[in-house]
Structure 1
């Protein structure tokens, strides 16, 4: 990975297979905001709080720029967060070689990368996502951060499990999270107490990790799988929602999640976009 620290921040060069809009809008995260486009240079910027740091990013002339980013921040936060050391072109090629049936799906969204989000934030966000739509999920998360997080730049940090663990479900009434409030508090308490050690889940057998997560009230297979993929960067995880269930029973009939191998989670994103695009035709 070639980069330089300039007065703009961290500039990363020759980074193929990275589309910011595709990555932030594929359902894996809920806090990236699209900023008003600068009419003078027509550059589209995006902002979010990443691991406690308010962050603005954009691409210009195929250079990926993280504004006001130091070299230490690039190495300590953003290389990992944006998965910049993984060659997604090679991953996509290996998936298609392994399963040629993926060829069409892999063409649809080659710019998606799997973000390495903070584990508790991912777990809590996907608890909130249950039986919900994207605008409402984003609204609940935004109110959660504004109410219990700390100010960071133009936004707020995601509140820690420890911060939420001392609350009662009724304390979350203003979030308008409904039945999910009790699930959020139960998850926070289990994580804060160490009953669920999220970092330990990175290295244990994935089936054991799933079972651990599903001891939290309201966490079923899909939320557990999303937490493993998007919060713990277990790229072999394969979340199954309505779109993926339909795909697996039609386009990919006979295949099981484990058939996609170590990069099943990346394949899942290609399939998800394939199904979503087909529904709009």
Structure 2
């Protein structure tokens, strides 16, 4: 495999520990570029390249059944050979930290399957879904954008934010073309979004009411960090929340504009190491109600508006089922119930290019107002008992009807 991937380093890692096609599309991070490869390689899983722009490099990933391949692309002036060795070590450390590879996901899946028969039904089809350890500032802004929104549109907004408020780091050719290039932009720091003109600009880019939330939150963080002596770096201050308790960190996040309980809990789980936290919205409540007998006290169907009491009830009951890493387990079932994952795991060709454009076929939501249709949910379908019979595909509409059926239909119409 290595001779097929010049310039890439290899890290032995089975897909049961990390599956990029699920983790990078399930509504955790919205800034990855997912690009199709131009030709099939030896491994059927290796169909796409995944790219992410850091402050000083673009990290490129490919994956086979048992190996993660990675390389870094640097802007000019290029590192010397000795510098490059050290920088590739930095890249590997970033990957280990970002994907939290020190956590044995197979062991967690085993534990959740023993605790929960529902989880056991989906462990094989949705293997390798783990929580990312993201930069808190990027994660905070991304989930402010998630209010009443879907994954494709959030991705478009986040990429637009980067291209308008962060200078391009470098240009890189597409894997399928040596002519077409794309610019890669780091995520802008808080100071870049504090100006009074930012709100109007973001509104013109389609952010709607979220534009004001982002500008005011950026300003609050910068002003807060300017007051101490010496001043603090805003992004470094957010990282200090990892050392605080869950309640203390949540209290700090809730002070920001546009941050409610769910957004705060997403940041706690996906950036601040609070692995037990379960972000709850109507979508999660529907899953809890259907499969874990957790419903509103009135006995009615889950409501769109999540009350604090109901939020705490759903979160605590699911945490009791899944244990210490409950937030991680929740992410697996959340992914399994997304509309864009309805056929996931049934074929290796389910993935599409994920560039910062809205796709009509991907309206999966990370917010209350965009809960999936239960009729299309793989969780609902999986309740049927497994059968060893070969599944016969339905006939095409272009196939002619047999004479007897055709005559019956004509008689019925005449009658």
TM-score over 0.5 (shorter chain): yes
- 8 Å CA contact retained: 1:105, 1:273: no
Cα-to-partner distance string for 1:14-36 (whole Å, 9 max, x where unaligned): 43421111111111111112213
- What does residue range 126-141 of structure 1 map to in structure 2 within 5 Å? 126-141=143-158
**1:227 Cα deviation after fit:** 1.0
Q: Which residue of 2 aligns with 1:9?
A: 8
Change (3 A) 1:53 1:238: farther
Greater mean deviation of Cα atoms: 10-19 or 117-126 = 10-19
- Return the structure number with greater strand share: 1
Specify the SS of the correspondent of 1:137.
Answer: helix
Q: Which residue of 2 aligns with 1:79?
A: 96
Does residue 172 (structure 1) correspond to residue 212 (structure 2)? The answer is no
Which of 30, 36, 58 is matched with 1:54 structurally? 58
Q: Which residue of 2 aligns with 1:32?
A: 32
Specify the SS of the correspondent of 2:123.
Answer: helix
Contiguous gaps of at least 5 residues in structure 1: 1-5
**1:12 Cα deviation after fit:** 0.5
Which structure has the larger Rg?
2
**1:135 Cα deviation after fit:** 2.0
Which of 161, 169, 184 is matched with 1:152 structurally? 169
Change (3 A) 1:52 1:177: farther
- 8 Å CA contact retained: 1:201, 1:209: yes
- 8 Å CA contact retained: 1:43, 1:60: no
Distance, in Å, in 2 between the alignment partners of 1:275 and 1:173 is 31
Cα-to-partner distance string for 1:106-125 (whole Å, 9 max, x where unaligned): 34411112111111000000
Distance, in Å, in 1 between the alignment partners of 2:223 and 2:89 is 31
Greater mean deviation of Cα atoms: 20-29 or 164-173 = 164-173
Cα-to-partner distance string for 1:29-58 (whole Å, 9 max, x where unaligned): 111122132215364211121455312100
Distance, in Å, in 1 between the alignment partners of 2:210 and 2:140 is 12
Q: Which residue of 1 aligns with 2:323?
A: 261
Contiguous gaps of at least 5 residues in structure 2: 74-86, 171-182, 226-233, 295-313, 343-375, 382-415
Q: Which residue of 1 aligns with 2:258?
A: 218
- 8 Å CA contact retained: 2:57, 2:72: no
**1:184 Cα deviation after fit:** 0.3
Q: Which residue of 1 aligns with 2:48?
A: 44
Distance, in Å, in 2 between the alignment partners of 1:227 and 1:97 is 28
Change (3 A) 1:193 1:7: farther
Q: Which residue of 1 aligns with 2:83?
A: none
**1:219 Cα deviation after fit:** 0.8
Count of equivalent residues:
276
Q: Which residue of 1 aligns with 2:270?
A: 230
Q: Which residue of 2 aligns with 1:192?
A: 222
Distance, in Å, in 2 between the alignment partners of 1:274 and 1:50 is 29
- Return the structure number with greater helix share: 1
**1:209 Cα deviation after fit:** 1.6
Distance, in Å, in 2 between the alignment partners of 1:266 and 1:171 is 36
Change (3 A) 1:52 1:243: farther
